[in-house]
Structure 1
Amino acid sequence: MTAELTGSTALVTGATAGIGRVIALRLAALGAAVVVHGRDQQRGAEIVDEVAVAGGNARFVAADLSDAEDVLRLAAAAGEVDVLINNAGIYRFTSTPETTAELFDTHMAINTRAPLLLVGALAPGMAARGRGAIVSLSTVAATTPARGAAAYGASKAALELLTRVWADEFGAHGVRVNAVSPGPVHTPGTKEMGDEALQTIARTTVLGRAAEPEEIAEAVLFLASSRASYITGSVLEAGGGHVAIG
């Protein structure tokens, strides 16, 4: 990899595991100083150490994204950010009657409100400097109904709309805003679903398998890089393709 992001700072939320971890490591390899966000201090320290061993630059900031004040504290601690990756998310699958107000609010707080607050706090600085890239992680469940994913899908559908709003709001100032919409992915989070459940979802894709975190990270890195300099307001689906009906 070339050091195409040397001199830039990137904030990656949910960067201590899964897709976010890979994104953070790859951004550091590209030369960015990475602000690693998570909740677990030990896992955060491990990522920072791994980046340092490889010759990169990273630091860890803990924050609870369900707490609006903590989100704003994270933004302040991150400082001037050139690349924002809204990766952190929550998904709990329940039927609509079983979806409590608290569960719905938690999905909206972490998946939608936290990115909104981070963009609101950090994008103006990007705009003032005349450059910046924001990439959010969505899901195919934002556009395709998934059983038990009402709260999850709704929170990510809102994030996709916000992506287009932000692209319009900040685009004239050199800030690009996009999203990646993954399908099934092998992560610690999806492992909790069980292999059978994940494979059931994977069989609905043309490729017939779940993605590896590295495959989704590559899509994110592309949108965050200068290679996507004329792409904004887009949602890149990385879902393995849709099986035809009939």
Structure 2
Amino acid sequence: MSTDLTGSTALITGATSGIGRATADRLAALGAHVIVSGRDKTRGDAVIAGIRAAGGSADFVPAALDDEHSVRRLASRAAQVGGGHVDILVNSGGVFPFGATAETPADQIDEVFAVNVKAPYLLVAALAPAMAERGQGAIVNVTTMVSEFGMKGMGLYGSSKAALMLLTKSWAAEFGPAGVRVNAVSPGPTRTEGTLPMGDALDQLAQAGPAGRVGQPEEIAAAITFLVTEQASFIHGVLLPVDGGRLAV
């Protein structure tokens, strides 16, 4: 089956760094017109410059995922820049604060659920119906391994991604019959700009899995890419762990 994405438009949130950026590079290399989204224009411009230099097609559309108006504008603008359609949506943007429950401020709870749950919900609501009308489309949500087991200090982050995991299955049931495949990728400890502050703790977390090492953004992006291509044409509502085997032990 083909992995050619020529003629398709892919919107990727959180695409100015880490997993989102690696995914943008891979989808562009397969021929997709990639809409790179994030807060930072300087980083966004750098991503699209790299894609264009490699012969790909990309544009940057800024968005703050914790702001409803910004998210709705992103969906509308992405369709416009994408030639009137968005065929692939990758909800990669997210925030992941860690800490004790009793020390979590209420505004942080609001932010985490706004970015990790509400923003993907609004984007799917805005873009999936049009995909369904065209009879095809692919959506991939990026969750986390700690949405499936308890870990000290990660309840807020894990619970937000657990909500996204359930939404993945619900959206697969809702839009799958019209040809829109909705799946999720669940990364384990991954070396990105966002996880740098974790330092040695990231390596210690990774050592609990069979792989015994931290993952790279490109490894997560490879799984996302598989799920949006025709190679995954019979896959709906799946949570694909890319965690070095952590959930196996």
Same fold (TM over 0.5): yes
How far apart, in 2, do the equivalents of 1:115 and 1:54 lie? Answer: 29
- Aligned match for 1:197, one of 201, 204, 207: 201
Q: Could you tell me how far apart the structure 2 residues matched to 1:231 and 1:170 are?
A: 13
- Correspondence list, 1:218-237, <5 A: 218-237=222-241
Q: Residue type matched to 1:140 in 2?
A: M
Structure 1 outlier segments of 4+, above 4 Å:
none
Mapped partners of 1:179, 1:244: distance in 2: 18
Per-residue deviation, residues 155-214 of structure 1 (Å, max 9, x unmatched): 0000000000000000110000000001100101111111x1111101111110010111
Could you tell me how far apart the structure 1 residues matched to 2:203 and 2:46 are?
Answer: 30
Aligned AA for 2:61? V
Distance 1:69 1:165 in 2: 24
Give 2:130's aligned amino acid. G
Does residue 51 (structure 1) correspond to residue 56 (structure 2)? The answer is no
- Is 2:191 aligned against 1:186? yes
- Is residue 77 from structure 1 mapped to residue 81 from structure 2 by the alignment? no
Deviation at 1:241, TM superposition (A): 1.1
> Displacement of 1:242 after TM fit?
3.2
State the distance in 2 between where 1:134 and 1:243 align.
Answer: 23
Check the 8 A contact 2:28/2:57 in 1, yes or no. Answer: yes
Count how many residue pairs are aligned between Structure 1 and Structure 2.
243
Q: Distance in 2 between matches of 1:236 and 1:164?
A: 12
Q: Aligned pair 1:164/2:169, yes or no?
A: yes
Looking at structure 1, the residues matched to 217 and 43 of structure 2 have their Cα atoms a distance apart, in angstroms, of 17
Work out the CA distance in 2 between the residues paired with 1:113 and 1:205: 31
Letter in 2 for 1:94: G
Change in Cα spacing, 1:241 to 1:3, as seen in structure 2 (3 Å) is closer
State the TM-score, normalized to the length of structure 1: 0.96
The corresponding residue for 2:82 is none
Worse-superposed segment, 112-121 or 47-56? 47-56
Equivalence for 1:109: 114
The reply on whether 1:150 has 2:155 as its aligned counterpart is yes
Note if contact 1:3-1:31 (Cα within 8 Å) is conserved in structure 2. Answer: no
- RMSD over equivalenced CA pairs, Å: 1.2
- Structure 1 residues 72 and 244: alpha-carbon distance in aligned structure 2, compared to 1, 3 A threshold: closer
Q: Name the residue aligned to 1:24.
A: 24
Give the deviation of 1:243 after TM superposition.
7.8
What is the rounded CA distance, in whole Å, between the counterparts of 2:193 and 2:247 in structure 1? 26
Gaps of 5+ in 2: 80-84
Partner of 2:142: 137
SS of 1:192's equivalent in the other structure is helix
Q: Give distance in 2, aligned partners of 1:72 and 1:66.
A: 11
Question: Helix, strand or coil for the counterpart of 2:183?
Answer: strand
- Structure 2 residue identity aligned to 1:78: A
Q: Percent identity?
A: 53
* TM-fit CA distance, 1:122: 0.2
Q: Kindly state the Cα deviation for residue 244 of structure 1 after the two structures are TM-superposed.
A: 7.2
Partner of 1:240: 244
Match of 1:6 in 2: 6
5+ residue gaps in structure 1?
A: none
CA 1:221 to 1:3, structure 2 compared with 1: closer, same or farther past 3 Å?
Answer: closer
Q: Counterparts of 2:22 and 2:183 in 1: how far apart (Å)?
A: 19
Contact between 2:3 and 2:229, CA under 8 Å: does it hold in 1? Answer: no
TM-score by length of 2: 0.95
